[in-house]
Structure 1
Amino acid sequence: MAKINGNEIRPGNVVEHDGGLWVAVKTNTVKPGKGGAYNQVELKNLLNGTKLNERFRSAETVERVQLDLKDFTFLYEQGDALVFMDTESYEQLELNKDFVGERAAFLQDGMKVTVQLYGDKPIGVSLPDYVTLTITEADPVVRGQTAASSYKPALLENGIRVLVPPFIDAGERIVVDTNEIIYMRRAD
């Protein structure tokens, strides 16, 4: 473990706080008119999923917990379980869909993911930042819209809806950011 200052906490960092393990979901540096700046951090408890908003001043220190990162391959979905395989030991790991959240829709057969482990306990899954998917439905362009507002809804092959530029049609493959769940560009 290593101590870091409260203003150094970044999203994805795991810290020990109030006797629990928390992952920083969002961070925001706030510089009030009076008093010192602080880091407003949204924390999520790794064991029970509860959320907490906490202010950390730069002078405060927290224990940053180092996690083991292991590469896994996504194999298949079975009911509410997602089955992954350790790329080194070939052992299988089952995680509940809720554990991965809405981003589970982006999992594809054979996709490499990184599982964060604390001891032997999985506490997080990182998907590739970008995936390529086919659009199954795209709304027609509404005439007279300005270019800035002309993004239109489209349905991806995995059932997720994203907004795409007017020149994108059903059947096209696009690159989607799996963190923000937004259209990035047309696939090559």
Structure 2
Amino acid sequence: MSEGHPPQVNRRELPSRTHAQIIPGRSDPGAALNAVCGSQTFASPAPLTAEGWGGIKIGMPEAAAMRRFGLKESNRPSGNESCHEDVVPGYPQLIVMIDEGRIARFSLYERGPLQTDRGFGIGARENDIRKAYGPTLKVEPHAYDDQPAHYLTFWTKPGRKGVRYETDTKGRVNAVHVGGAAIQYIEGCD
């Protein structure tokens, strides 16, 4: 290479898309969400928090989330027209509960890249969660599983916004819910 000239670039080695080509809801939804959220890397999705997930906030109108992030309706049970569930394209393990037309909670039921802001996801150990949250963590027996399965609930705004982990009889997280009071719902929208 001669001095003062830029290095030669083999175009076949360049990525097929640039960050500017990512359009929320139309291309790679996970990357689009991270781009909208200001993430430094596209490899790590935003953490789940009591406030929401990335740019999708608890209390946000469903229509706005559908337009901006490409949410897709996945489950609208008959008999309960005010509550249903959506999914985020690219993150099939993330369930978005809609209640009265607004984002009410996010739920995880399967392993994947998503975790809470404290670094816990499906498979995390109950003891680690208890240590991380300390005495403010509310521990209750699980409604369906035998002891020692629990609900572990931490409120950032008591009764209004928080995170809930469900653990199984082996002390492992098998569900995570973040958001509003709906994190306490036991059977989906009920």
The structure, 1 or 2, with the larger RCO (C-alpha pairs under 8 Å, 6+ apart) is 2
Which has the larger helix fraction? 2
* TM-score over 0.5 (shorter chain): no
Shorter-chain-normalised TM-score: which range? under 0.3
